[in-house]
Amino acid sequence: MTTPEIPPTDPQLSAERLLETESVRSQPTAPALLRPEPSGPDLLDPFSNGYGFFPGLPGPEQAAQQALWLVFSRDSLLLTEELELPTTLPEGAEGEVYLGLQGEREVWAARLTADAPEGQKFFRLRGLYGRVPDWLWVLGGYGYQIAEWDRTHQFCGFDATPTVRADHERARRCPKCGLSFYPRLAPAVMVLLTRVHEGRPQILLCRSPQFPPGMYSANAGFVEPGETVEHAAHREMKEETNLDIRGLKYFDSQPWPFPHSLMLAYTAEYAGSEIVPQPEEIEEARWFFHDELPSLPGRASISRRLIESVVGERPD
C-alpha cells in the first residue's frame, strides 16, 4: 500500500488563498441583532436559542413517566390551565413521535382528534407567543412541524407503500423502493427596502390581501428551485412591487412553523423604478416616513424585528 503523493506547496496558490480569506474577512457584517447571540454550550443547541432543548434520535420505544407531551389538534397545542405542557399522554392520542430532551426530560409529540381532557385546553400556537415562555413557543413550533410531517408522510409518494420511520435520522422510508422522506423546509426571503425622500428616511411596506385591516409588513416570498436567496430577494421585489433594489444586507433568520418555512430577512436600498403592486399578491405598497408607520406585525415575527432594527422600537 502506498501513500498518495503530497504535491509541493504552490506559493502562488497559497497567496491567492490568503487573499481570498482576507477579502471574506473584510466583508461588511450583518446589523447587530436585537437579542444577544447565544454563547458557550448553547451553540450546540440547534435552535440557537439557548433554551436547552436537544433534538435526538433514536428515541426510546416507550415514553418515560413524566415526559413532556406536545399534543396537537390541527395547529393547536394542548396545555394545562397553568399554560404548561401535560406530562401524560391523553387517552385516544395517536402518532407518538420522540423529539428529544428538554434538560433531562423526554419530549414527545402526538395528535388528538377528540376533545381536550378535563382541566386542559387546546390553544392556537400562533396566539401563544408572549403568553408562554419563549422556549415553549419555539418547542411547540418544532413539535408541530415534526408531527405534521410524520402524519402526512405515512405512504410513499411514488408507489403508495406504507413508509416506516428511520432509526438514526429524522426521515420516513419506503421499504419497497427505498425513497426517503424528510421534514419539509421552505426557505423564504424578506426584504425591508429603505430610501431617503425629501431629506428624510423612509421604508417600503406592503399589504397582502390576507393581512388584518390596516396592517403592513416588509415584502416577502418563497425562494424557488435553482435560485440563490439573494436572487429571490431581487425577483420577489420586482414581481410584487416593480422596484429595483441594491445593497442587500443580511439581518437574521427565523423558523416559522406555519406550516414549514424558514424566513431569511434582509435590508436593501431602493435602486429605482415606480411602484406597481402585483395584482392579488399585493393590495398596496407604500413608502412610509419613520414617524408615520401603520400597524405592524406582532412581536413574534422576524418582520417586526427587522422593521424595528431600522426605525427603532415601536409601541404596539
Query: Which region holds residue 100: left if phi is over 0, alpha if psi is between -120 and 50, else beta?
Result: left
Residue linked to cell 431602493:
270
Can you tell me the distance from the alpha carbon of 71 to that of 86, in angstroms, rounded to the nearest whole number?
8
Between CA 138 and CA 196 the distance in angstroms is: 37
SS3 category, 313: coil
Smallest separation, CB 297 to Zn ion (Å): 41
Rank residues 179 and 215 by Cβ distance to Zn ion and give the closer one: 179
Complex with Zn ion: residue 179 or 248, whichever CB lies closer: 179
β-pairing, 186-197 vs 261-270, is: parallel
Separation between Cα atoms, residue 205 and residue 202, nearest integer Å: 10
Burial 288-305 (b: 16+ CB within 10 A, else e): beeeeeeebbeebbbbbb
Which is closer to Zn ion, CB of 121 or CB of 165? Answer: 165
Task: For the CB of residue 163, give the shortest distance to Zn ion in the complex, in Å.
Answer: 8
How far is the C-alpha of 115 from the C-alpha of 280, rounded, in Å?
A: 37
CB of 155 to Zn ion, least distance (A): 9
174/205 with CB nearer Zn ion = 174
Considering the complex, state which of residue 156 and residue 220 has its C-beta at the smaller distance from Zn ion: 156
| Footprint of Zn ion (CB under 5 A) | 156, 158-159, 161, 174, 176-177, 179
- Cβ 180 to Zn ion, closest distance in Å? 10
Residue 262 per-residue DSSP state: E
Task: Supply the minimum distance, in Å, between the C-beta of residue 212 and Zn ion.
Answer: 43
- Picking from 291, 295, 304, 126, the residue whose alpha carbon sits closest to that of residue 207 is 295
**Between 73 and 161, CB nearer to Zn ion:** 161
The least distance separating Zn ion from the CB of residue 153, rounded to whole angstroms, comes to 11
